[in-house]
Structure 1
Amino acid sequence: MTKAVHKFGGSSLSSAARYQAVANIIIGHCQSGDCIVVSAAGKTTNTLVALWQSYQQQDERAFSDILLQVENHQLQLISELFPAAQQTPLASELRDELSSIARQAQLRQLQEAPLLAFGEIWSARLLAALLNTLNITTQDVDARTLFTQHQGQLMHSLNRSACHQTLAQDKIYVVTGFIAADSEGNTVTLGRNGSDYSATLLASYLDAASVSIWTDTPGVFSTDPRKVGNAIKYSKVCRAQANLLARLGNPVLHAKTLSPLKETAIKLQVRSSFEPDVQGTEVVKQGYSKEKRFVTTFGELDLLRVDTLASGEVGALSQLIQHGIHHFNQNGEDYLLVPSEFTHQVVLRLSGRVTIVESHLRGFAVVAPGPDIAPLVRQAQAVLDEQAVVVRFTHSATEYALFLTDQAIDSDVLAILHDKLVNKGRELAVIIAGLGNVGEVFLNQCQQQIARLQSQFDLKLVALLRSQEMVFCPSGLNVTQWQQQWQSEAQSYSHTELLDRISELDYEHKVVIDITASEAFSQLYPDFAAHDCHLISANKYAGTAAHDWYQALRTQLQERNLLWRYNTSVGAGLPVNFALADLQNSGDKVVRIEGVFSGTLSWLCSSFDGERPFSELVLAAQDMGYTEPDPREDLSGRDMQRKLLILARELGLQLELDDIELEALMPASLAQGSWESFLARKDELDAFYQQRAEAAEAQGKVLRYTGALEIDAAGKVHAKVGIAQVAQGSAIANLTPGDNIFVITTGWYEQNPLVIQGPGAGKEVTAAGIHSDLYWLTQQLR
């Protein structure tokens, strides 16, 4: 079964040394059953075109000279690649073919397509022979036995069958690119640079896993790296943008190359045969890469206006001149951008329907995400004005803009354009999990926050997640319309699919913001870290997981230089974790933390005055949305127990959850059974609380539900969450209902502890705390 198709262009096979290099790549990257597609060696196709032109002009001397040039090049390759015993049959076969060409020319029977086909035939034959000398079982294959056209259209079903039958053995096949046959067996060509097209066609017919286009450049760049030193090589480019670049004449990927891969999962990579160990560029399906920015320059072009264009006519014209033609409509009129050398042919074909609007134009195109085009056009025009470059024609579309000028864009101007239009600050992909009350407020605040951070970072919200559904858009969701996008685009997902999508994100930085209360989701943190994601958590489960798991996550994040911020997991928007970190970083030592860390329990205890039974306050809090759906979750104290553990671990203490003594704010018997059974026995809760409140009052104190952590002089840790009697004049006793309070005693704050107090719950303050963590993250990444 074919796992991969590899294509090597003419520059990769330009000399005997390059053939050897390609053979080494094949040995390192291929297995039996894989296919190699080859172009003609070096400039062989150009030489054969010149040979054809001399034949047409009946210039016999030029024809003989060029034919000798072809022979010498091929014989030189044979002599340098093979020992004498192997040279003889290869040289003899070559001379027979050259003699046949000369004979057909004399008889005026020479045909262009069969003549041009020899370039690929010779490449395939030599490479297969070379691999066989290296004990790699290899067979060269003439693609005319695989690809058949009828009236210019590929016969896909027939071709698929031919590929599976011909390429079925356990060996490596070297297939000629560029050529095919018509239904009568005549040779046809697939256009200049058609070998790339041959490779992707072959991959689609064989259901291969991947196609690698090996060329003389190590990938797809933001602009020509030979002209701009800081051109960006992209690790991933989406197919739509690659297709557009090809239509605009970008030489790395060519027109039609991508079409066979449409609706397939076949991976396409562009790699350098000159630097085989360098990772190339992967061309991926739409939605698996963010859209990039490019500045691509033009060779000499003519701008043609056409009265009427029939369906498929642009493709036919491209086939006629063996070159891509870009077509666009402006103000209701059709225009073609045609390389100047081919304008005469196009005008003849469109006789009576075409006007040459501008000739001998140069210039460039900007390709970018749709929302970026308008500002980029303004910036580009400003640069051109500053550099005194005269623009003769412009055209803007959804994903690109054309600037046609009367002079070539030199390297200096291109570098300025690239710096202004492409080079951006750091990029951060934001993935948000949890779209409940806090998540919704956080998203509504996002637009303003992202705009504020934009000067330092290019933030893109790329994914929204709920427990079973997600929306994923690598180029970025519209924050102002996230609800509409969720309604129309949300799809079910598995954790494996989520991680696969995250692995495809080609951003400099990625962050997962967890606003869920899901223990299962927190268990994915190591997987997120493995995919180089920073973490921001409002979720408490990871911070209170088993210590070995927690420490392994910490180590993993540190080893990968990843950051984890979770200030809102304790105290909502209150800067508790910041304060503890600052105290320790400044050399102080925390010896005690005490306080009320639950807004719900704060409200319940501070609101109790004996006028109403405690259970009525619980039901009132439930009605106001202060509690969990089953308020016993709050009354259990487990939430505060987790928060105290998080604070303990902030101090570097190796505690487990069970190391913190827990006393619930209700009788143990009420924790069991249904909520309805609890309501039937609520008087037990009232008696439980009333009894303890009266005992506190007898001591001149009030009842509060607190957490306390103390480190004694010997370093032993005492930690408890439960009911406490506190002095009436203390900060904890006078706590505003619903507030959290943290009383921190340290070496420096011994007599007068540091107090942090404020709302410890609420969707607005929690969302604001998450934004604070996001801001902190971007500052650290700077």
Structure 2
Amino acid sequence: MTRVVHKFGGSSLSSASRYQAVAQIILGHCKSGDCVVVSAAGKTTNTLVKLWQSYQQQDQQAFSDVLIQLEKHQSELVDELFSGDVHRALKAQLDAELVAITQLAQQSELQESPLLAHGELWSARLLAHYLNELKVAARSIDARQLFTLHDAQLLHQQNKATCYAQLQDAVVYVVTGFIAQDCDKNTVTLGRNGSDYSATLLASYIDASAVSIWTDTQGVYSTDPRKVSNALKYPKVCRAQANLLARLGNPVLHAKTLSPLKGSNIKLQVRSSYEPEASPTEIVKEGYSKAKRFITTFENLDLVRVENLAKGEVRTLSQLIQHSIHHFIVNGEAYLLLPATFTHIVAQQLAGRINIVESNLQGCALVASSSELSGLKQQAEQLFHDREVVVRFAHQDSDYALFLTDQALDSDLLAVLHDKLINKGREIAVIIAGIGNVGDVFLQQCEQQITRLQSQFDLKVVGLLRSKEMVFSPSGIELSAWQTQWKNEAQSYNSKSLVEHISELDYEHKVVIDITASEAFSLLYPDFVASDCHLISANKYAGTADRGWYQSLREQQRERNLHWRYNTSVGAGLPINFALADLQNSGDVITSIEGVFSGTLSWLCSSFTADQKFSDLVLAAQEMGYTEPDPREDLSGRDMQRKLLILARDLGLELDVDDIALEPLMPVHLAEGSWDDFLAKRDELDTFYAVKYQQADDEGKSLRYTGQLIISDSGTVTAKVGIAFAEAGSAIANLTPGDNIFVIKSVWYEQNPLVIQGPGAGKEVTAAGIHSDLYWLTQQLK
């Protein structure tokens, strides 16, 4: 059967209310056969260590005081969680164990590892009993029954067989973390915070599908989110970096945790037991996540140099002090970074082979990819210098740099370091669909735009799409040579493979830029949103889709806090959407929008004179590339109709395209048949237009093709697109051929309307408008 291992740390079990919260998580996330690995509750392990130290120092009063502290905490948990027979039985069992500890101490037979094991035993017992109280079949398991070591090496094959044999019932198993046994049945601990290791070991032994490490943070952050409010939570972190962070003392994951997963497909997640619905951080295999940037801080460390450090000796020392130890080599000499409180223990163990280089150190480690580490290290050194922070020791390895200082890095300094070194590197993956006329110009402009944005974001174009071919490179496409890369690497794709590629992208932000005119591509927007992509559209189809589909898409975006910019879907590069949003956000109320929203129809109507045939003008526009391949698509007015609908929805109006009356700029029957059929009847178009033109001229007006949206005081909406006679001298009558114009009336602009006019088509202005949307998006994300 497919099983999952869940691990809960001490902070997740620090009080009765936390036990109750963890039980609710188990109810929601576990099924029979799953395993729950637990640490000692709260600071219980620290208290047990103090008890052991008191015993070693033969300080009977301290021993008694600490034992009372232990008894008080455990009794409070039992009292708050249980009543009746279960309460009495658990209290009696706890009392018996505390008496036994006291007797062993009095007889000088107390041993460290069995003593420290009590914390996990108590946690497993209480949680299993509490789950039973909730009618969940649960059983506590002492991991010493499952994990055996010989000469400090785990007997993996034997342990796997034992786990399979003992964990077969239809219950939730609550397993103690941190402890195991040797072949002589002696208790062995797996290192301080070894419960993570226990969880991944167990997962490997039972062939679990996944491990969830539940802790007091939502995942793995770029730095401590309690110290830096804008710390980044990473959705994915590669195992190598997670392991490095653990060796450097980052508390989210601990040393050795990842080793049992090597070569496996077991999924590892870090999740919050305080906010269980929050998205986790997934720890993934190499190649499934790019290197991230981290700052992890140190406090009260000693730096020591060790002569003739033997293989495996660091592991032995870590076991001795129950704490991970980071070590590194400089010029052939071995250095250890130790918690200052344990230096004397390590010094005794190494017997004269240790030299203290620096003591009482604070500072941080900067973790990043090898390609960018040197530059980041130089920036960090400059920041320390500017703020007069004395760096007593610095060391750079392939993927991290150490800075050991006299003073602790306060939250203000850490925030500055983070903003300069980490946030600066926030990455945006860009997928560009449609690299034809406008797309080609957009790509030409991209290099300069990316340079402008580089101080705030690391923006990478990772995908280029045209028709059914694409180039996809998660690490980024070299824009100066994209045509060559396209020629050499373009491959066919379908919708499913495209969405899969995008969903696997490991970036803080993703944006799909749609420069196509494809309705089929716009139907993929919900899939892009489900993959946490922002959208930038020149494509009008999504914005004018069926109202139910459109509103569902909008709701998805709101739920995921995603942005959708589409300024170029109406008016090319003109800031009409910005203007409407700004007016409404400032408290104004729009009462009408009228104008010419088609560069093609603007050019045709404004260029026409009575001494020519309208069909000749249409054919000339077609020849110059001003129209669609079949100009009847422009003359139908459907493009203007869709644009007016987009503007209406920007005003919050719940309209569909059929709610907008449509009058084509040609006889309706000419839309039927082929283009050749149309050409054979072009004189009917000429007659139709000449009549309309003469009617306008007789009234002293100009023939134009406009869209109009009127909102009455009562809220009634009138929307139409069609032929209009513009008053002589008006902005619409005097429109420059090819321009778009928007005449906006509102409460504030009633007598003197706000007019926005400019090119309504063109590769350069449209591409620039898309870049404007991209810039706006980065500012919102910043």
Q: Which TM class, normalised by the smaller chain length?
A: 0.7 to 0.9
Deviation string, structure 1 residues 484-536 (Cα, Å, up to 9, x no partner): 998879996856994997799896x8765433323244345567678887653
Q: How does 1:145-294 map to 2 (within 5 A)?
A: 145-149=145-149, 154=154, 156=156, 158-181=158-181, 188-208=188-208, 211-214=211-214, 223=223, 228=227, 230=229, 232=231, 234=233, 236=235, 238-240=237-239, 241-261=241-261, 264=265, 266-271=267-272, 282-285=281-284, 291=292, 293-294=294-295
Q: CA contact under 8 A between 1:193 and 1:254: conserved in structure 2?
A: yes
* Alignment CA distance shift 1:300-1:730 (3 Å): closer
Contact persistence 2:128–2:174 (CA under 8 A): yes
CA drift at 1:641: 3.8
* Pairing 1:731-770 to 2, within 5 Å after superposition: 739-742=738-741, 744=743, 758-770=758-770
Q: Is the 8 A contact 1:615 1:686 kept in 2?
A: no
Instruction: Note if contact 1:432-1:512 (Cα within 8 Å) is conserved in structure 2.
Output: yes
The change in CA–CA distance for 1:732 and 1:87 in structure 2 (over 3 A counts) is closer
Give the Cα–Cα distance (whole angstroms) in 2 for the partners of residues 129 and 21 of structure 1: 15
Q: Match of 2:83?
A: none
Residues 120-519 of structure 1: pairs in structure 2 closer than 5 A: 120-121=120-121, 123-125=123-125, 127-129=127-129, 132=132, 136-149=136-149, 154=154, 156=156, 158-181=158-181, 188-208=188-208, 211-214=211-214, 223=223, 228=227, 230=229, 232=231, 234=233, 236=235, 238-240=237-239, 241-261=241-261, 264=265, 266-271=267-272, 282-285=281-284, 291=292, 293-304=294-305, 323-328=323-328, 333=332, 335-339=334-338, 358-360=357-359, 362-367=361-366, 369-370=368-369, 373=373, 376-386=376-386, 388-397=388-397, 399-405=399-405, 407=406, 409-410=407-408, 413-423=409-419, 431-437=430-436, 438-450=438-450, 452=452, 458=457, 460=459, 464=463, 466=465, 477=476, 483=482, 498=499, 513-519=513-519
Q: 1:689 to 1:257 in 2, by over 3 A?
A: same
Aligned-pair CA distance for 1:415: 2.2
Match in the other structure for 2:82: none
Structure 1 counterpart SS, 2:300 = coil
Distance 1:93 1:388, change over 3 A: closer
Shift in Å, 1:719: 3.1
Separation of aligned partners in 2, 1:52 and 1:666: 96
User: Per-residue deviation at 1:642?
Assistant: 2.5
SS in 1 for 2:33: coil
Structure 1 residues 141-184: Cα deviation after superposition (integer angstroms, max 9, x where no partner): 23233334566554555544433332221222221222334578
Give the distance between the partners of 2:477 and 2:661, measured in 1 at CA. Answer: 45
CA contact (8 A) 1:443 1:479 kept: no
Alignment map for 1:594-743 (pairs within 5 Å) = 594=596, 596-598=598-600, 602=604, 617=620, 620-621=623-624, 633=633, 637-647=637-647, 656-658=656-658, 659-663=660-664, 672=673, 678=675, 684=680, 706-709=705-708, 717=718, 719-721=720-722, 739-742=738-741
Alignment gaps of 5+ in structure 1: none
Q: What is the CA–CA distance in structure 2 between the aligned matches of 1:709 and 1:71, rounded to whole Å? A: 81
Please give the alpha-carbon distance, in whole angstroms, between the structure 1 residues aligned to 2:464 and 2:671: 35
CA contact (8 A) 1:305 1:333 kept: no
Residues 267, 282 of structure 2: 8 Å contact kept: no
Q: Is the CA contact (8 Å cut-off) linking 1:591 and 1:712 kept in structure 2?
A: no
Q: Which amino acid aligns with 1:657?
A: V
TM-score (norm 2): 0.73
Equivalent-residue separation in structure 2 for 1:79 and 1:778 (angstroms): 51
In 2, are the aligned partners of 1:394 and 1:403 still within 8 Å (CA)?
Answer: yes
TM-score normalised over the length of structure 1:
0.73
Letter of the structure 1 residue corresponding to residue 137 of structure 2 = T
How many angstroms does 1:248 deviate by? 0.8
Are 1:573 and 2:569 matched, yes or no? no
Which shows bigger deviation, 113-122 or 636-645? 113-122
Q: Deviations over 1:595-636 (max 9, x none)?
A: 643389759977996799679747744xxx666566665565
Pairwise CA distance, 1:736: 6.9
Q: Distance in 1 between matches of 2:20 and 2:233?
A: 28
CA–CA distance in structure 1, aligned partners of residues 248 and 601 of structure 2: 60
Distance verdict in 2 for CA 1:688–1:750, change over 3 Å: farther
Greater mean alpha carbon deviation, residues 530-539 or residues 638-647: 530-539
| TM-fit CA distance, 1:744 | 3.8
**Aligned partners of 1:750, 1:52: CA distance in 2, in Å?**
82
Give the C-alpha shift of residue 706 in structure 1: 3.5
SS at match of 2:362: strand
Letter in 1 for 2:295: F
Distance of 1:152 and 1:488 partners within structure 2: 51
Q: Give the direction of change, closer, same or farther, for the CA distance of 1:771–1:117 in structure 2 (3 Å limit).
A: same
CA distances 1:338-357 after superposition (whole Å, capped 9, x unpaired): 316777898999999x9858
**How many Å separate the matches in 2 of 1:77 and 1:271?**
24
Q: Structure 1, residues 46-80: CA drift from partner, whole Å, max 9, x if none?
A: 6776888899x8x8x66999699769946984697
Residues 304, 529 of structure 1: CA spacing in aligned structure 2 closer, same or farther, 3 A cutoff? Answer: same
Cα distance change on mapping 1:83 and 1:319 into 2, 3 Å = closer
Q: Superposed, which structure 2 residues align to 1:69-148 within 5 Å?
A: 73=70, 77=74, 81=78, 83-84=87-88, 87-88=91-92, 117=117, 120-121=120-121, 123-125=123-125, 127-129=127-129, 132=132, 136-148=136-148
Name the CA distance, whole Å, in 2 between partners of 1:743 and 1:246. 59
Most deviating of 726-735 and 174-183: 726-735
Asked whether the equivalents of residues 522 and 542 of structure 1 are also in contact (C-alpha less than 8 Å), the reply is: yes
Counterpart CA distance in 1 for 2:590 and 2:40 is 73
C-alpha root-mean-square deviation of aligned residues, in Å?
5.8
1:384 is aligned with what amino acid? F
Shift of 1:705: 8.4
Q: Distance in 2 between matches of 1:76 and 1:721?
A: 79
Query: Structure 1: which amino acid aligns with 2:270?
Result: Q
Counterparts of 2:142 and 2:735 in 1: how far apart (Å)?
86
Q: 1:544: Cα distance to partner? A: 2.1
Q: Is the 8 A contact 2:138 2:173 kept in 1?
A: yes
Cα displacement (A) at 1:198 = 0.3
